[in-house]
Amino acid sequence: MDIQRVGVVGCGLMGSGIAEAAARAGLDVRVVDLDLASLERGRERISGSIARAQKGGKLSEPDAGAAIARIEYAADIGSLSDRQLVIEAVVESEPEKVTVFEMLDKVVEAPDAVLASNTSSIPIMKLAMATGRPSQVMGIHFFNPVPVLPLVELVTSLLTSDETVQTAERFATEQLGKQVIRSQDRAGFIVNALLIPYILSAVRMLESGFATADDIDLGMVKGCAHPMGPLALADLIGLDTTMAVANSLYQEFKEPLYAPPPLLARMVEAGLLGRKSDRGFYDYKA
């Protein structure tokens, strides 16, 4: 199936990035978020990102205008009834994602539509079994910022059909111009199963007083050629999301390296979530 009509559920950082990438690829995009304030913030985020791409010479003025015009915004999940592909990008919470898939199963009409999740860690099978069409459910996991980073993880459950995988891979590679890697349906998939223990180790190092946040991050940037250190990266991801992924990994594998350190839990409880709240391991207030 050649995807032309894309739906996105959730207009946060990832949902708005996915919508922008699809619109810039020439696709008809409809974004749904039940929170009108979140929907408006997402609209502003997309407009700002496209404006920056135009200013940087990556988009012409006509292409920028066309991309913005291809995106519709709605607060009714029923508006996704005609979509060929719907990507769920709500908060990293299994109950909330399951609810979204239950609703999508009822409203998406195309019998061959692909229902995908952008989850960072939740097993796809748990989402697929919330629908009556588990063969059409899979993970299409993007990375932040979506319009810039080229990677997409494709994650299949035991029940995902070959046709669903082929449609998703063609969408990601031929239509969005991304590079894909394939993962089995295990919590964390490939990237986060490697990344999250690394970040948690940095948090434990800071918590123990072994080194400062600046020195930990500078060591990995200058000593290992990483583009940013693990604590700055956690702030970018969001400390709440980092902890949610860690909890999902720990629940699946029961290995201590996946257990969130107490410092991370306290920071999330305090609302110190990183860049999204202007304060995490670093202070981002202007």
Active site residue ranges: 120, 141, 153, 192
DSSP code at position 150: -
103's CB contacts (< 8 A; 6+ apart) are: 77
Residue among 148, 175, 180 at smallest CA distance from 25:
175
Cβ atoms < 10 Å from Cβ of 282: 15
Which amino acid would we find at residue 74?
A
d(CA 158, CA 135): 9
At 277, list the tokens.
């709240």
Phi and psi at residue 181, to the nearest 5°? -125, 150
Look at residue 180 and give its three-state secondary structure. strand
d(CA 215, CA 206): 10
